Structure formats: C-alpha cells, structure tokens
Structure 1
C-alpha cells in the first residue's frame, strides 16, 4: 500500500487501500466525541483522490486540476516541526504536541482540554479522557506517553483512508491516512511514516501535501 502525490494533480493510491467516509460525532454538550462511519467504497487496487478541492466526483479526481491549473507545489519539506514539539509532563502521562499538524478536529477541547487533563493524569477520569482525546486526533498532533511503562499510547488503526466530514459545523475535512501507509512526494521522496496523517483535499493548505486547517470556513 502507498500514496503517491502527483505533480499538481491527485493522490495516486495503490495496493488496495480501503476508503471510507467518517463523520465526527458530538456529545450532548456539542463537544467532538467520536467517529461514525457513514460510507465505505468498493475496494479498488488503484484510485486517484482529488487534491485541488474542485472535482465534481469528490473524493475522487475527475481531472479538474488540469482545467484550473492547480498549483499543488509541495511545501512540507523535511517536516522540521516533528523534531521540536511542545512537551507537557503530567504525573502519569506526558503529552507531545506537534502544533503544526493541527487540523482543527477539536477532540482535544472536551473537559477542559487535553493539556489540562494531562497535568491531572493521576486522576482516573482525567487520564481516561486525555487518552481518548489524543487517540481521536486524526493528524497525530497529540501523542501521549505513559510514565509508568514508558510506552507511547497510539490507537490501533486499520490501514485505510478516511474522508473526514463534520456536518454539525458544515466542514469538509482532510483525508485521514491511517496505519502507517507510506506517502511519497511527487519526486518520490518518502515523508515520515506515521500511524496518523492528514492530507489536504481542499487545495489551500500552506503545508502541502498535509492539511493545515485551511478547509475551516468552506
């Protein structure tokens, strides 16, 4: 399985990667709280996903990028933001925060926010909620480590691509690449493989091919 970024064109997905649509669900107070699968596409060995945000067959590419002369120049570079994250240390959990990866999914805001919860992680409910919020973060901005075991707490994710939708806010989110599927630049350079990656599908990110939250307000 792999995802190849094409020059000023779509993402070329090969290897029979499952593709589905999931919506962000909310609790009674309006907080982002989980995921609901609403559609799964028939499995294909190869397909092309829109990167310009203008296809009439989204999430698939229909060639519109050529007609509008889409500039898909990749600007992510060597991803230096992965080398110097903010670190919040609590009594039982340590939170690593890669701020540049934020896609504004808002799972981190419930119950006072994951930063506050991490600092109160000796309280069972706070610890549990912090872990839930970190594991629901689609971009991998928020990663927790357990002080007691030294292990990183990561969700177990099927290797797949999820089209993120947030109908409660009228937002069409990024492509959520799960399970460490390799992403290669247009010139064949591999990006850092991670369990959770979000790719831009609106065409406006300043951190292409990754999402930077520019879809907010669509």
Structure 2
C-alpha cells in the first residue's frame, strides 16, 4: 500500500479505512485497493420519468489486488482495463481537476430549514435533482417534513456529491451512510453508461502522489472525455458513451 499523504476530508464525510484507496496511474487505469465490492448501479425513474432510485445489477469480481478499472473508455472488457489505453489516440489522460475542497467553490441556496450548496463543475448528469420540481426550487420552499424528505432524497442520490445539504437548526450535514464500495452507473433512461461511483470516503490518489479531498460520494470519469479529470463532468451523456455490459436485475432498489 502506498503511504498516504494527509488529504482533507469534506465536512460531513468520513474517511474509509486506509486499506481502501484508488491510485490513478499515468496514462493508464484506476487501480482499486482494499477489495471494495463493485456492482452495477442502474438508474430507474419515478412515475414522472425522472431519475429516482438505483437498482443494483451485475456484481463484478473485486478479489484481485489491485483491481484495474478502465478510465480511457476504450476497453473491450469494461469496467476493467484491458490495455486498450495504449492504443487510444483520442484520449488525454491528464488530470485537470482542482485539489481545492468542493465546498470552497459552491453556490448556496437557503430555505426555511435547510441550506443547499452546489458545485456544478462536478455534475455527473444523473438528474435526480430534477424530480418533483427540481431540488433548487424545492429547498427554498420546503417547510413540511414531506418536502424536506424529498430534498434529502434528491441530494442523497446525487452520485457525484456536487450537492451538499445541511440543516439550519442543527448545522448538521446530511450524507447517506455509505460503506466503502464502487458502483458502475448505468443510465438506461438516456441510453448511456455513466461514471464510476466511489462511495464511503475512499481516498483517491492522483498520478503525482497527491490525494484529492476525501468525500462520501465521488464520481470518476470512465468515458475518457471529461474536462474535469479524474472526475466526471457529464460528458458521457453528450457523447452517448455505452459500455455494452448487459443490465442485470438483482431486485434490490435503493
């Protein structure tokens, strides 16, 4: 295991045990250490057609140490790396994301009982924020517990963590209680494959040895075309990225 630096931990998040971490390799894959479970996470809609829940699908073998996950978008064995990055001419592997804490560059919206912080550059285009009137509108008027629960649901299902919510009275940040794990997001609603969803405070180490801010929810680019690498910026949707992995129904919705 590489010796970690002392990365910052986002307020409201908790760092996973040190055995769990991801190392970004120069011009190569993500190396995942600690054997976290890796599963398909399939976005399913509500009755209005908006993203609403995840359905767990295919389980991937994570017994190797480390597991190499594709980040160029060209592997024929997705989500795993098969060496295709060596021949990928349209892939720029350079990391361009800031190491600054996400909450330093947010816009805030204040409602009767909650405050919503939003850092749009981390948007993974999962669209949970659009249901039932859009979360930016909802938080500014949410007065009842039913309305507050809808806001918490939409924010908590945002895989990238671009949306951060806290209670004005208790000043406590709301975060879903994730264990260290990896999701491979599939978005059949728009017929694309989404990013790698890193959950539970897993440390992500860049090619220069510096760790990014540790957060409870992070999405990593796997189409190879994000302009905010290593993080997803939603480009997979506009380029119609598809990994050709069959969708499996575990029956488990969250």
Match of 2:87 in 1: 67
Pick the aligned partner of 1:23 from 21, 42, 45.
Answer: 42
Compare 36-45 and 78-87 and name the one that shifted more.
78-87
Structure 1 residue 68 displacement after superposition: 2.0
Runs of 4+ in structure 1 deviating by more than 3 angstroms, as ranges, are 79-82
In the alignment, the residues of structure 2 paired with residue 79 and residue 59 of structure 1 have an alpha-carbon distance, to the nearest angstrom, of 28
Segments of structure 1 that go 5 or more residues without pairing to the other structure are none
Deviations 1:6-49 (A, max 9, x none): 11110011111211111001112101111000111233132100
In the alignment, the residues of structure 2 paired with residue 204 and residue 163 of structure 1 have an alpha-carbon distance, to the nearest angstrom, of 17
SS at 1:192 equivalent: coil
CA RMSD of aligned residues (A): 1.2
Q: TM-score, normalised by structure 1?
A: 0.96
8 Å contact kept, 2:101–2:213: no
Match of 1:164 in 2: 185
> Does 1:187 find its partner at 2:208?
yes
In the alignment, the residues of structure 2 paired with residue 207 and residue 86 of structure 1 have an alpha-carbon distance, to the nearest angstrom, of 18
Match of 1:113 in 2: 134
Segments of structure 2 that go 5 or more residues without pairing to the other structure are 1-19, 241-254
Structure 1 residue 123 displacement after superposition: 2.2
In the alignment, the residues of structure 1 paired with residue 55 and residue 31 of structure 2 have an alpha-carbon distance, to the nearest angstrom, of 26
Match of 1:11 in 2: 30
The 1:75–1:196 alpha-carbon spacing in structure 2 relative to 1, beyond 3 Å, is same
Structure 1 residue 78 displacement after superposition: 2.4
Match of 2:114 in 1: 93
Structure 1 residue 100 displacement after superposition: 1.0
In the alignment, the residues of structure 2 paired with residue 9 and residue 147 of structure 1 have an alpha-carbon distance, to the nearest angstrom, of 43
In the alignment, the residues of structure 2 paired with residue 113 and residue 200 of structure 1 have an alpha-carbon distance, to the nearest angstrom, of 25
Structure 1 residue 81 displacement after superposition: 5.4
In the alignment, the residues of structure 2 paired with residue 42 and residue 62 of structure 1 have an alpha-carbon distance, to the nearest angstrom, of 15
Match of 1:215 in 2: 236
> Does 1:47 find its partner at 2:83?
no
In the alignment, the residues of structure 1 paired with residue 62 and residue 94 of structure 2 have an alpha-carbon distance, to the nearest angstrom, of 29
8 Å contact kept, 2:70–2:222: yes
Match of 1:145 in 2: 166
SS at 1:180 equivalent: coil
In the alignment, the residues of structure 2 paired with residue 62 and residue 79 of structure 1 have an alpha-carbon distance, to the nearest angstrom, of 32
The 1:82–1:187 alpha-carbon spacing in structure 2 relative to 1, beyond 3 Å, is same
In the alignment, the residues of structure 2 paired with residue 155 and residue 180 of structure 1 have an alpha-carbon distance, to the nearest angstrom, of 11
